[in-house]
A and B are shown apart, each in its own frame.
Chain A
Amino acid sequence: DAKTTQPTSMDCAEGRAANLPCNHSTISGNEYVYWYRQIHSQGPQYIIHGLKNNETNEMASLIITEDRKSSTLILPHATLRDTAVYYCIVTQGGSEKLVFGKGTKLTVNP
């Protein structure tokens, strides 16, 4: 599975959009981009995934560049409850081994 690079930490003002970048320059054609988040010490929670096209669900939007070498997770109106560690991973749909990096610690400030 392709490796990912994320900033260690980011800050965002409450009510503003939070844009979390992820670099995955070695991604291959059949690999998906997945985003998870971990609030405090809970188990990580699935947010969104994509292959080539931009995706949106009730939690977030995912923008994938045309060359697929990077992506951005967008939380359109961040709240204090969105403070968490966000993980970007890249993997084939049926890949057996799923490896996480250290993620981005997002702090939403009042």
Chain B
Amino acid sequence: NAGVTQTPKFRVLKTGQSMTLLCAQDMNHEYMYWYRQDPGMGLRLIHYSVGEGTTAKGEVPDGYNVSRLKKQNFLLGLESAAPSQTSVYFCASRETGRGHSPLHFGNGTRLTVT
């Protein structure tokens, strides 16, 4: 049981390049989330999904797209990377709520855009 796995762990992009970050969970969770974390800041929600085939915007969605074609995977795409997107990206998942449902996080993807 691996929990939440993020790939890649590190990536360097040039401005204007595109890439996709992959998040995979093996806990059969319905809800999945993408957050970004910048130095001195807390976690900011980019997009989230409440089930296969659904996505929704979080606090800072601009410049990102997401897809949830399979329940276990949540993809975060950058179509045209900008230096402002240099950050650490965390994926998380949780069960649907019937009462208590904590988040399970991956270990992050460190992205640098030059």
User: A residues touching B (Cβ–Cβ < 8 Å)?
Assistant: 32, 34, 36, 41-46, 49, 85, 87, 92-103
Contact = CB atoms under 8 A, between A and B. Distances in A.
A98 B90 CA distance: 13
B93 to A, nearest CB: 11
A45 to B, nearest CB: 7
Given A42-B108, A94-B96, A98-B33, A34 B102 contact: yes
Contacts of B41: 102
Interface residues of B, number: 32
A97 B48 contact: yes
Interface of B: 4, 31, 33, 35, 40-45, 48, 50, 56, 58-59, 88, 90, 92, 94, 96-108
B102 to A, nearest CB: 4
The 8 A-B pairs with the shortest beta carbon distances in the complex, nearest first, are: A94-B97, A43-B105, A46-B102, A93-B97, A102-B42, A100-B43, A93-B99, A100-B42
Nearest to A36: B103
A46 B100 contact: no
A99 B56 CA distance: 14
A84 B4 CA distance: 21
Contacts of A45: 105
15 contacts: A34-B102, A41-B108, A42-B108, A43-B107, A43-B108, A44-B103, A46-B102, A49-B100, A85-B42, A94-B98, A98-B48, A98-B94, A100-B43, A102-B40, A103-B42
